[in-house]
Structure 1
Amino acid sequence: MNRRELLAALASAATLPLLPGCARGRVTPPTSPAPRGGAALAVLNDVGENLLRLFPESATQLGIDTGARAELRSRLTDRSAEGRRRIAAQVRADLDRVDAIDTAGLSHATRTSVEVVRSAYATALEGLALPYGDTTVGSWRNTPYTVIQNVGAYLDIPRSLDADHPIENAADAEAYLARLESYAKQLDGETGRMQAARGLGLVPPAFLLDKALGQIRLSARSAREGGSLVESIERRTKTIPGDWARRARTIAMQAVAPALDRQIAELEAERAVATGDAGIWARPRGEEFYRWALHASTTTTRSPDDIHETGKRELEQLHARMDEILKGLGYTNGTVGERMKALAADPRYQFPEGDAGRAEILAFVQQRLDWVRAQMPRMFHTLVHPNMEVKRLPPEEEPGAPAAYGGAGSIDGKIPGRFWINLRTTSLHSRYSLGDLAFHEAIPGHIWQGEYTHEMPLVRQLLAFNAYSEGWALYAEQLADEFGAYENDPVGRLGYLQSLAFRACRLVVDTGIHAKRWTREQGVQFFVDVNGSNPLEVASEVDRYCSWPGQACGYKVGHSEIVRQRQKAMTALGPTFDVRAFNDTVVLGGNVPLDVLAKNVGEYVHSATK
């Protein structure tokens, strides 16, 4: 569907009905559920509360660690082997309860929630049955490695304590200190699991360990000096009587720093026996782990070979579109990748280095977000108004982090949605790709979509599916293009198409590394040579694929499925198709596996043809 066709569909006088329960002005919860529906919702709510107790940081991130849940503000997830066993036992018991729900006669929304929990919990149990790894329950960061360059409490907790944990009174400050003590225990719990995994023969690639060691040594040094762990509470308790900074410094120096040192010692022991093999194929039960990781990431049962070939095919189609634009700009010689590298070297599209360039990047992002906010009434009937901010990643996290990431804020609005951007060097970003990145991470991408979950049952706010989340964010990039982001900017459209091609490359590289025994260098070179990608960016990208097998495949698989469902709806509805009604269907149905997405779209089409 090209932009002209889309706008014609948008201008159609017919307004199609939405799914039951979807209001035009805002998201509304279902009203007066039938007794059967009420019983099902009661089970789902109880399951959600159980999940919240397992992962209490989620309560803080959602802004619901108050009232009856106030004690969660003082707790952190148990990351030990025993904690992992407790998570598995709770998930198994709750899945049995949800499996026992009779979905006949339930509302569409409640039935969808039941299907979502069944899918997420069954997938998590498969992962938790594996002998190693960090398995999430309804989230995207599944990894065989408990601690590595982009995984571990040493990265998560300092950021969460500073960015998410509120300090408005003495009780909040005490809760901060309790979490600081728990942070040290988390670290030791992780270290025990790392040692057990090494005993099974699971050791991360040497190049990932080198990155992780560099980062965690900085964290340990910071903790020994008090650092950000102390500065965060000191800055926010200036008007709250108490010796908060001294107490935090004592915990950081006497508990956290030694626990970090113990992790460093374990990582050094792993480094002494590590190899350069990048893929999970080289680890015990690696093929089994990768099959599960691909299923968790894509919510499909597609094979590595199928995904690999799909990536090559979609890449060829995208490059054909890019070739036409490049020729129009006078770039006629060489492959698409070679010409995109030449474009990237053009000073007109680069930001200056240093703080001046960083400020220019942030201003550029804000301008693009201001533009796209104004387009939302043309894309959706049901609008949200996300509270959000653009923030630089903490410098200690930047070496192992992607170019950016984003997510919605808390339900009460006290914690804004955040578009985290990596500014370790301004050369990570270009003028022709940065707007597209903002659309992906913020509006109408991750932050916008996340706002629609806030009035769903609690368990739905806690569960997410990689293929849907990232597929929606790519579809958000497509919407921005279709609604005029690059109307007079062919170079910007090249950046958008290169972004899609980048995700097609991911299908090839992730499966290449983990199933076809590619080296890290082969993965990096594929991006640079075939897609003309920034080598600085893709080096960290490929390292991320090595530590999160399968995750990179969710993006394009999810995007292609959303586009396929839209095309099916257009074919079925013809001239009465309304893109706003379709988009509402996708976001109001919530974060779902791809088979549930297909059911939601099918019900939308059925209701629209009545």
Structure 2
Amino acid sequence: MSRSICLGALSIVVATAGMTNATSARAEDVSACECTSKAAESAADLKFRKIYSDEWDWRQQQFAADEDSGESDIRAKLPDVSAAAQARRLAKWESVTNALDGIDRASLSPANQVNFDVYKAQIAVLVNQQKFKDYERPLNADTSFWGNLAGTARQTFTTESDYRNYIAQLEDIPRYFDQQIANMRAGLARGFTPPKITLRGRDDTVSSVIDIDKPENSIFYKPFEAMPANIPDATKAQLRAAAVAAIRNSVIPAHKKLLAFLRNDYIPGAQPSIAAYDLPDGKAYYRAKIKEFTTLDLTPEQIHRIGLDQVAEIHAEMLQTMKDANFTGSFPEFLNFLRTDPQFYAKTPEELLKDAAWIAKEFDGIAGKWIGHLPRSRFAIKPVPADIAPYYTGGRGGPGIYLVNTYNLPSRPLYSLPALTLHESAPGHAFQMPLAAENKDLPEFRQNSYISAYGEGWALYCEWLGQEMGMYKTPYERFGMLSYQMWRAARLVVDTGIHSMGWSRKRAQQYLHDNTALADHEIETEVDRYIAWPGQALSYYLGEMAIRQDRARAEKALGAKFNIRAFHDAVLQTGSVPLPVLNARIDRFIAEGGVGPYPDEE
């Protein structure tokens, strides 16, 4: 059963920074590998390459590693996040914008015209983040600057240098926290904080670092528990002693200071409103976030209407699936049955993890039928760490990892696990992100950057694709997929409702409760995530719609020549790009007769 996904008249307004309209990139005959031979570079190409290469190298030192960065090197120093450093960043990115304005896009090679569109959109986002001072609220509903640092302790350490850099990083935490607290105080003074309701319990993740009986029990000591055999024993002992001292003298005192600030000042004084419109310059801020996360020029009202229409269409499919399951009650009764019947829930964390692994391996067996060029990297399946699990999503994936949340098992239905696994592991995030990083034909700013509309759109498309791949074995599992589709379509309604239309937290929760099979615990954590992270939730369904619309266009134009493997390779080969750039790539795919970027693998 299919449903309409066309954006209709709204398609005329999709444009990225650096494009005059959505068709400007489509007219370009970009080379199949989307790379440019340096020998053939024009003066404009050389100028552009120097701009993005210099800025990208500089950019790598501006941010701390986070859970989604995929970064593997352990640095000796945390970044400077002071107000003065933030002003320098704004000046830098504005100067890059001016430099890009001095380049005639038409004089670039076809491949660099695409690179230009992607890069200019990246810089526009960075400029807006600095102008709105996003650094003054360095946390959202489930991530934070202190939590990201704890995440470094879960990385793989392989050399003595890694350990020495890590110890230096631990010793740098007091300075780093002081700068973050100063930024948060500035945000607090102007009412630019996450909503107070989303900060409940967030101090627990800080107190857990403090409430230990000895440094060796700290999460920050974890890398020293099992050290590589190639490091001499005497050196191991010295490094462990230095780590204990750094945790005792730097890490714990910095967390105590942060905890006092959170409990005494920040949480009590946080923004009472849940709406982005109530933040300083809130309407412009929310529109900027819509553009950042969707790469589209859509208004909140347009997105809200798309969401309502899609919710209605998906609901009809859910009713049919309920009939397929031979359930004779009402829709609310069916949702209650799914939320409460023990057959749909794992009894132990290990059972949930093993089922996720089984689904991932099942896809492995058919991967080559759907994607021609597969990534070299593999991924592990692990539980979400206990200290963040209560506030974390049901699962999250990326390079090398698929995290499954085993906290509160009655909120983790097994019938939704196939869709979750396709999204977060393969062929979703654990495929898309490594394929971009492994594509050496792309410049680094495309290999290692993540645009939510593309990345989340692809992952959500993978859930939908599971129907064609035969991954849903029962009507309940298909309902789980539809519930996830409904969840993302409902986000278009809920996010815009909260941030621009005066919706209450309770109304948003009730909307998800009435329209999806999500457990109430997950509904609460999800709504708080949307409240604290304006616009991000919009990227998923709008991204999926764009990919499905591109596919439908290609199927219609190519007819019998359409090759699903070639189409998926064309989508994945671009790296993470704004949706109009992806539209242009598929236009070229059609013009070239449906030949993919890796024809020998088709």
TM-score if structure 1 supplies the norm length? 0.86
The verdict on how the C-alpha distance between 1:605 and 1:60 changes in structure 2, with shifts beyond 3 A counting, is: closer
Amino acid at match of 1:112: V
In the alignment, is residue 277 of structure 1 matched against residue 273 of structure 2? yes
TM-fit CA distance, 1:420: 1.4
Q: Is 1:503–1:556's contact at 8 Å kept on the other side of the alignment?
A: yes
Q: Is 1:173–1:237's contact at 8 Å kept on the other side of the alignment?
A: no
Higher relative contact order (CA closer than 8 Å, sequence separation 6+): 1
In the alignment, is residue 318 of structure 1 matched against residue 301 of structure 2? no
Deviates more, 1:293-302 or 1:227-236: 227-236
| Distance in 2 between residues matched to 1:581 and 1:401, nearest whole Å | 36
In the alignment, is residue 45 of structure 1 matched against residue 53 of structure 2? yes
TM-fit CA distance, 1:527: 0.8
Q: Secondary structure at the match of 1:608?
A: coil
Q: Which residue number in structure 1 is paired with residue 447 of structure 2?
A: 461
In the alignment, is residue 96 of structure 1 matched against residue 98 of structure 2? yes
| Distance in 1 between residues matched to 2:104 and 2:359, nearest whole Å | 47
Q: Which residue number in structure 2 is paired with residue 125 of structure 1?
A: 127
| Counterpart mapping for 1:96-495 below 5 A | 96-104=98-106, 106-130=108-132, 132-134=133-135, 145-160=137-152, 162-164=153-155, 166-222=156-212, 225-226=215-216, 227-236=218-227, 239-240=231-232, 241=235, 242-268=237-263, 269-274=265-270, 276-335=272-331, 337-352=332-347, 357-408=348-399, 417-454=400-437, 455=440, 456-486=442-472, 488-495=473-480
Structure 2 residue ranges without an equivalent (≥5): 4-28, 596-602
Q: Which residue number in structure 1 is paired with residue 89 of structure 2?
A: 87
TM-fit CA distance, 1:32: 5.7
Q: Is 1:467–1:557's contact at 8 Å kept on the other side of the alignment?
A: yes
Q: Is 1:149–1:215's contact at 8 Å kept on the other side of the alignment?
A: no
State the Cα deviation string for residues 522-556 of structure 1 (Å, max 9, x = none): 21111112223211111111111111111001000
Q: Using the aligned pairs only, state the percent identity.
A: 26
Structure 1 residue ranges without an equivalent (≥5): 4-17, 23-27, 66-71, 135-143, 409-416
In the alignment, is residue 581 of structure 1 matched against residue 566 of structure 2? yes
The verdict on how the C-alpha distance between 1:205 and 1:60 changes in structure 2, with shifts beyond 3 A counting, is: closer
* Residue 488 (structure 2) aligned to one of 495, 500, 503: 503
Deviates more, 1:596-605 or 1:342-351: 342-351
The verdict on how the C-alpha distance between 1:223 and 1:20 changes in structure 2, with shifts beyond 3 A counting, is: farther
Deviates more, 1:230-239 or 1:534-543: 230-239
State the Cα deviation string for residues 103-145 of structure 1 (Å, max 9, x = none): 4364544332221110011122122111x323xxxxxxxxx72
**Aligned residue-pair number:** 559
Q: Which residue number in structure 2 is paired with residue 542 of structure 1?
A: 527
| Distance in 2 between residues matched to 1:317 and 1:552, nearest whole Å | 20
Amino acid at match of 1:316: A
State the Cα deviation string for residues 61-82 of structure 1 (Å, max 9, x = none): 65675xxxxxx73232323323
TM-score if structure 2 supplies the norm length? 0.87
Q: Which residue number in structure 1 is paired with residue 10 of structure 2?
A: none
| Distance in 2 between residues matched to 1:58 and 1:536, nearest whole Å | 25
In the alignment, is residue 529 of structure 1 matched against residue 514 of structure 2? yes
Amino acid at match of 2:395: A
| Distance in 2 between residues matched to 1:425 and 1:292, nearest whole Å | 36
Q: Secondary structure at the match of 1:452?
A: helix
Amino acid at match of 1:385: R
Q: Is 1:393–1:420's contact at 8 Å kept on the other side of the alignment?
A: yes
Q: Secondary structure at the match of 1:178?
A: helix
TM-fit CA distance, 1:207: 2.2
| Distance in 2 between residues matched to 1:150 and 1:407, nearest whole Å | 16
TM-fit CA distance, 1:222: 4.5
The verdict on how the C-alpha distance between 1:108 and 1:431 changes in structure 2, with shifts beyond 3 A counting, is: farther
Q: Which residue number in structure 1 is paired with residue 553 of structure 2?
A: 568
Deviates more, 1:256-265 or 1:599-608: 256-265
TM-fit CA distance, 1:589: 1.2
The verdict on how the C-alpha distance between 1:560 and 1:599 changes in structure 2, with shifts beyond 3 A counting, is: same
TM-fit CA distance, 1:288: 2.2
Q: Which residue number in structure 2 is paired with residue 607 of structure 1?
A: 592
Q: Is 1:234–1:244's contact at 8 Å kept on the other side of the alignment?
A: no
Amino acid at match of 1:45: S
| Distance in 2 between residues matched to 1:559 and 1:609, nearest whole Å | 20
| Distance in 1 between residues matched to 2:530 and 2:162, nearest whole Å | 37
Q: Is 2:346–2:352's contact at 8 Å kept on the other side of the alignment?
A: yes
| Distance in 1 between residues matched to 2:363 and 2:185, nearest whole Å | 48
Deviates more, 1:99-108 or 1:476-485: 99-108
The verdict on how the C-alpha distance between 1:100 and 1:580 changes in structure 2, with shifts beyond 3 A counting, is: farther
State the Cα deviation string for residues 32-91 of structure 1 (Å, max 9, x = none): 6512256544443333212212236389965675xxxxxx73232323323322322332
| Distance in 2 between residues matched to 1:324 and 1:149, nearest whole Å | 35
Amino acid at match of 1:210: R
| Distance in 2 between residues matched to 1:62 and 1:555, nearest whole Å | 21
Q: Is 1:297–1:551's contact at 8 Å kept on the other side of the alignment?
A: yes
Amino acid at match of 1:182: D
TM-fit CA distance, 1:193: 0.5
Deviates more, 1:457-466 or 1:359-368: 457-466
| Distance in 2 between residues matched to 1:60 and 1:562, nearest whole Å | 23
The verdict on how the C-alpha distance between 1:107 and 1:62 changes in structure 2, with shifts beyond 3 A counting, is: farther
Calculate the aligned-residue CA RMSD, in Å.
2.6
TM-fit CA distance, 1:308: 1.2
| Distance in 1 between residues matched to 2:567 and 2:369, nearest whole Å | 12
